[in-house]
Amino acid sequence: MKDKNFRMTKKRKIIYNLLQNTDRPLTAVEIFSILKDKNEDIWLSTIYRTLELFKNEGIIVQTEIPGSEISHYFFTDESHKHYGVCMNCQKVISITDCPLDSYKPSLSDSDFQIIDHRFTVYGYCSNCNKNK
């Protein structure tokens, strides 16, 4: 576990462990119902706040599928990563290279200094492709 700038409370730890041990991205509502089934007493608003915190800390990645308003969250242990997201099953597949390795954006401000970027591709995973 990497160093964190926040206190890992009991409730945060429960959400952390759940995301770490689930192999597919979860929505806040899914996390809520899984924890409810385990008789954990955590409010949905607490889950949203915790997910926001984890996202800002780089512990989880939030994916949004175009056309859907629901965000999925999944655990990551790498700071620089790009992903492909399956629009059917929400499976997340790592992209092993970075587009900025070979692409230099032409910005109209020539002194613009890039410090961060995002890149995600959307489509259908091999499994969903097969079953279509």
Shortest distance (Å) from residue 27 CB to Zn ion: 16
Residue 86 lies near Zn ion (rule: CB under 5 A): yes
**Restricting to residues 96-115, which ones interact with Zn ion according to CB under 5 A?**
98, 100
Q: What is the DSSP letter of 71?
A: E
Residue 89 lies near Zn ion (rule: CB under 5 A): yes
Length of the chain: 132
Shortest distance (Å) from residue 82 CB to Zn ion: 6
Judged by CB under 5 A, which of 22, 27, 46, 88 binds Zn ion? 88
Q: 25: Cβ–Cβ under 8 A, 6 or more apart, which residues?
A: 63, 72, 73, 74, 85, 90, 91, 92
Residue 95 in contact with residue 82, Cβ under 8 Å? yes
Which residues are near Zn ion by CB under 5 A? 86, 88-89, 91, 98, 100, 125, 128
